[in-house]
Amino acid sequence: MKKTSLLVSLPAVIMLAASVNTVEAATQPSASSMTVSSHAKTIYFNQQKITQAYAVVANGTTYMPLWYIQYALQSIGVSSKWMQNVWSLQVPSIVPVNDSHLPQKPKKLSPSTVVIRLNQKTVDYIPGLVHVDPASGQAVEFVPIWYVSQVLQRFGVQSEWNGKSWYLSNQASSGVTVTSTTSSKSSESSQSSQSKQTTSKTGNSASSTSGSASSTASSQQLSDNQSSSTPPIQMVKKTISFSGNVISTPYSFVENGTTYMPLWYVGQALKAAGIAGTWKPGEWSLQAPSNMTAKLSNLPSVPKTLPPNTAIVKLNGQAVLVVPTSVQVDPDSNSPTTYVPIWYIQQVLKRVNLQTTWNGSEWSIPAPSATSPSSSGTSSKSNPSGSSQGNSSPDPSTSANGSTSSGSGSSGDPQGGSSSTPSSSNGTNPSSSSSGTSNNSASNDPIIAQFGDTGQTVQLLQNDLNIVGDNVGPVDGIFGPMTEGGVKAFQQSAGLPVTGIVDQTTWQQLQVATLQAEEKNGFQFNNNPPPSSNTSGSSSSAGGTSSNTGSSSTSANNGPSFTNVDLRFPAPSDVTASSIDSYLSSNGSPMTGLGTVFMQAQNTYGVDANYLVSHAILESAWGKSQIALAKNNLFGYGAYDSNPGNDAGMFPSEAYAIRFQAWEVRNNYLDPSGSLYVSPTLTGMNVNYATDPNWATDIGNLMNQFATSLGSSVNDYVQYTPNDNPPQPASTTEPVFLMNGAVGKVVADPDYNGLPYYSSMGEGESNMFFGTLSEGSFGSNVASVQEYLNQVDNANLTVDGQFGPDTQAAVDQFEQSHNLPVNGQWDYSMWAMFNPAPPQMLKNGATVQVEEMKQGMTGGIVTEWYDLAGYGWVDSNYIQLQNVYRITVPDPTSTNTEVTVYNASNPSQVLTQLHAGNFVVCNNPAPNSQGYITIQFANQLTGQMETGLISTNQASLTQQQ
């Protein structure tokens, strides 16, 4: 039986106004100390296990990680997202929601308060806490399930907590009311054998009951072994083979007349065939290797909004099919995972001439040949209806024991089971093609990947090499020296010719070794991301990949760890400018040459240089990411998940990006007075810095890799304790980038009909209007509007810079009271009511001189600000630079990225070295007769203005506007 979504399973007759007495989950919070449960707790829905999570008891009630609750709700059709202490839930419109008796907003919200919104309305303010989840080792957001239960009741979901399991149910309409055993003893609670008093609420009224059960006559307690109202899915072991060899035996099930298998195992099988795949909810992207010809004609039309429980399958970037999906608990891992129908995957593989066979118990995938095979009369041909003609049939409908359930040989149509197609045989391979063994000889072994390749196939290769123990560092999709070395190491250990080239034989053996390593380590594919306190449930996970498994120095809780290094202390003495450059060069990084800058940043701002190097490596793919190459942005600063390439900040040099990062991290993340401080460690930074919960571990692994290359270890680094007394930084002042003779023209801001300028960047960020504000806007402008509404209308808004429903309601009220159009938007005319334009502004087309640049914000987006000679600070979006260029080298991804600058008066004398991407000033970009171009720049350490020459043999100039 297919697992239904909430849209189907919650009866429309469930109305929360009904007087159903239900004893609440857990207990209402009271003052108590916090303890971590020693066992994972289980969440059920209608008696079906959804997931398990470690729990925390604080203030006398049980807290669970928000991400796991989100996952449980998602599996029953309730979507939600988490952003800056606001948890927004969306229930399908067909489900009745009780939105009466809404709470009053507290006059002051504590930093830990979580706002819960249900279908855009705020329904509760609850306590939250950030705590390390033992399952992931990351600091995540926990919320009390007692409060969550109140919200769930608003759309008909009842709950019961017995100290070990949390049962969710929508069975109230059938006469079954889920209740709580109030006398059960939780091992995590400090309460003794005394009976507990539990409060029950319906709407806004409350009553108390005491004892071991509710007095409701129709109530019924759920248990693990109680029969469900929905027959359980029957799981049966099936076999997946590749090239005649069994590679896995996953549990599968039959639904709507077709067989489903776990996506992870399917992905592993396709990897063995050389097809890379990444999964995120609602989309599975497959990338065929270059030796496979993909047929991308007759593509289906894909709906703008996918139906529930479906996903798009993409092949080489093109949507080729929409397939049904089903999330079920995999008996092997005891964890929820996504299942897909094999029949649909077979149709996709036909586009790359892979004719797979299914006989009811085994799915056989032949090894792809080096050239595209020609079709024969015995191959199957799919028609648009989904039936099959010829000697190959769709997936036979199978019973629980794996036998063919259709004795006549007909097979169920995956589209709905209404049509059937005759099969050539019953329970046997219907294909008359080869048995699936590879005909490739050593001399004709196709190449899957080799040095210089990039893309998803290389990412999968790197991931697998890391899993089997041949550590190649970050999974960046670039086949460089480390990846080549890992391939050679694997080939040597596997008894293969050591070539460093991944041919079909190497690839197949690596897949087998990867599966064996993962099974040994208990790794199971999970199509959902690990929990994160920043973006619970909002980020996606690459299917079939795993987290770093190389160094244990960052993942173990026993002993020192790079994730617990106090980053305010300098790196050990073996970390020098020379050792940094040597390490970067040996790994083929274009950041080679910046070692001196990394050390200067450490010495100026008091931030571990190993961390700075490792963070830059992670965020910029060793300096080769598009954001790094196009914007000198080595740390992904401002690269929000929704639009990273566009939102990422532009930096005038990579050296400035390093100095800025050190200043930003030290002042905001590592200093106890910083706004984003948790602890001065990678683990502490992870809470507020990154959406990826594995971010700290990944950087810690890179720090360990660099330290190991120097013969050092984590023992040489200072482990954080609250009693640490780190050295004070030499400076806490934000760095600036000095310009020498830069000229620009003003482009008027349409709101101001000119360009306002300010005495400081901070004043400009606070007072300049950056565009019409509406729900979803964020940044300093929103915070200013919230402060103004609190002053003039007593709006009692939290000044958090987030334009949410409460802010919109306050704006509506303001517009109504001032006879303005009530549209929930704050435009420039309203802004000018409390923040008029400066009396002096620059006119459109005015020529100005830019003296220095600084990284700032405009409306929540990272933006450079310019200091104009004789005026002040302006938003760089309204200055068109006239004579500023970026230094460009022939191969910006190589290690040859340092450009020599010669003395303008004596070209034989070296003046300095500048790095590729640096902003310089040039009034005549044409080279002279000797092939030199004259540039102007500033020494960023001394402030000295310089003029020099660069050779066109080494570099060219690209105009920056």
Fill in the DSSP letter of residue 826: B
Please say whether the dihedral angle defined by the alpha carbons of residues 279, 283, 287 and 288, taken in this order, is positive or negative. Answer: positive
Low-confidence ranges of the chain (pLDDT < 70): 1-39, 107-108, 134-138, 171-232, 281, 301-306, 308, 333-336, 369-446, 455-456, 515-558, 640-645, 691
Give CA–CA dist 168/152, Å, rounded.
9
pLDDT at site 12: 30
If phi > 0 it is left, if psi is from -120 to 50 it is alpha, else beta; for residue 783 that is alpha
Question: Is-contact 654 634, C-beta < 8 A?
Answer: yes
pLDDT at site 232: 58
Q: CB under 8 Å to 673, separation ≥6 — which residues?
A: none
Fill in the DSSP letter of residue 546: -
pLDDT at site 610: 97
Structure token pair of residue 816: 């109504």
Give CA–CA dist 809/33, Å, rounded.
38
Question: Is-contact 824 811, C-beta < 8 A?
Answer: yes
Best CA proximity match to 540, nearest among 353, 281, 357, 319: 281
State the amino acid at position 912 in one-letter form.
T
Give CA–CA dist 709/614, Å, rounded.
13
Structure token pair of residue 360: 């009811």
What is the gyration radius of the CA atoms in the chain, in angstroms? 31
Give CA–CA dist 796/59, Å, rounded.
27
If phi > 0 it is left, if psi is from -120 to 50 it is alpha, else beta; for residue 638 that is left
Question: Is-contact 339 253, C-beta < 8 A?
Answer: yes
pLDDT at site 636: 85
State the amino acid at position 761 in one-letter form.
M
Give CA–CA dist 828/470, Å, rounded.
58
> Which runs of consecutive H residues, i.e. helices, occur in 306-447?
342-350
**Residue 327, H or E segment:** strand 326-330
pLDDT at site 343: 86
